[in-house]
Amino acid sequence: MVATICGFIAAYNIGKVAAAIPYVRQEFSTSLSWSGALASSYSVIAMMFALLCGVLVSRFGAWRAGAAGLGLLIIGGVLGAIANTFALLLVSRVIEGIGFVAIAVSMPAFIGQICSERIRPLAMGVWGTFVPGGIAISLLVSPLLLQGAEWRVLWWAGSLVAAAGLILVFFTIRPAYIKTAPVALRESPEISSVFTRGPVILAGCFAIYSATFVGLTTFLPTLWSETKGIDLNSAARLSAMVVVMNILGNLTGGWLNSRGFGMRRVLGWALIGAGLAASVVYIKGLPITAQFIAAGVSVYLGGMLPATLFASVSKYSQSPAHNGLLLGLFFQGAGIGQVFGPILMGATVDHFGSWQSAPLFFISAIIMAAILLYFIPDHRPQVSTRHHD
């Protein structure tokens, strides 16, 4: 639970910028594109450095990497709170992004280490709620914090909760990690050891999931504002309600995995089902109630994927020391999807000049997902018996 709380803290610090963008733009006179860079910087960091963070987790241990991630959130939050230029604020977001990735890779590795095989799928389902849960908290809390205060209070609050998380890590996760860490974790696995068929395909699945999830949820407020005449604030609140469905999807995925459902079947529901439901959102003339339901179904089904992939780490890991590397590879895929998903969907809509062309993006994702799912190996890899000096 402490590990999951740390994930919520990391996701809050990523999501806080959404409410602050109008105020940041006003103070620093920045363009919308630069404001978008401020919001998406963590995705770029995940795309570039997640696997490296996995190496560090395998080398130095999950609790140290998680503590370092929280420390970076504190530093980035303080730096952002005192920033007097937009460039310095952007640097602070990069620091926070590295901290987020460190936590996102290290904490599930720790959960997989301390949980028995019986409860691990459920635990990973709970962990998988950290992104939608943390962002939902930021969407709810940020307007309250901004009342009578400037946007910098969000950064101070993020640093404060990260400091509280760091204390929790030191007094709970650190002793638990030391007590349960097997000797195998002293290995220093080579980064190339994770580039086998199964892990690479699963990282590709995570990329497709992230691309469709972010592509759908990013443009929902704009879609409803332009086609249904709803004000942006109301559209944003509806979108937040859609994102919350991802939490239920993660919990469902954890339950299905604990009940022995096949990974290929659950991933098929998550990727193909979510893509089809997302395509329904853009059917011409569909009432907003039906669009809202279809979007919620898409996000719910997609939410089963993270829980399934996190639970699969032990199946594809050659040894416990490889867990961090595998998680780093998965989040590298997620970062790629988060960066390119909105770009490709936006380009599709711009090219054809109509929201009704958006299903082309989701259908393309479904086709790629079906190909990847076909090639997922069913067998469990043999555990390596080789020891490093």
What's the gap between Cα 14 and its chain centre? 10
Predicted TM-score (pTM) of the model is 0.84
* Mean pLDDT comparison of 294-303, 307-316, 352-361, highest-scoring range: 294-303
Residue 378's contacts (CB-CB under 8 Å, 6 or more residues apart) are 264
Contact status, residue 159 vs residue 35, Cβ threshold 8 Å: no
Residue 189's contacts (CB-CB under 8 Å, 6 or more residues apart) are 58, 318, 319, 321, 322, 325, 388
Domains of the chain: 1-181 (1.20.1250.20), 189-377 (1.20.1250.20)
Higher pLDDT, 316 or 374: 374
For the chain, percent of residues with pLDDT exceeding 90: 45
pLDDT of residue 133: 87
Categorize the per-residue pLDDT at 36 as very low, low, confident or very high, splitting at 50, 70 and 90. Answer: low
pLDDT of residue 291: 95
Categorize the per-residue pLDDT at 387 as very low, low, confident or very high, splitting at 50, 70 and 90. Answer: very low
Q: CA-CA distance, 223 to 351, in Å (whole number)?
A: 16
Helices (H), the chain: 2-15, 17-28, 32-60, 62-81, 86-114, 120-127, 130-146, 152-168, 174-180, 197-228, 232-258, 263-268, 274-281, 288-302, 304-316, 323-352, 358-374
Categorize the per-residue pLDDT at 42 as very low, low, confident or very high, splitting at 50, 70 and 90. Answer: confident
pLDDT of residue 325: 85
pLDDT of residue 298: 96
Lowest mean pLDDT among 59-68, 142-151, 285-294: 142-151
Categorize the per-residue pLDDT at 389 as very low, low, confident or very high, splitting at 50, 70 and 90. Answer: very low
Categorize the per-residue pLDDT at 380 as very low, low, confident or very high, splitting at 50, 70 and 90. Answer: very low
Which phi and psi (to 5°) does residue 61 adopt?
100, 150
What does the chain come to in residues? 389
For residue 3, which of 154, 127, 132, 179 has the smallest C-alpha distance? Answer: 127
Q: Is 175 exposed, middle or buried (0-12, 13-18, 19+ CB in 10 A)?
A: exposed
Half-sphere exposure of 107 (CA within 13 A, CB side): 35
Higher pLDDT, 112 or 302: 302
| Digit-coded pLDDT (tens) for 234-260 | 887 888 889 889 999 999 999 998 888
Q: CA-CA distance, 283 to 165, in Å (whole number)?
A: 44
Mean pLDDT in residue range 118-137:
88
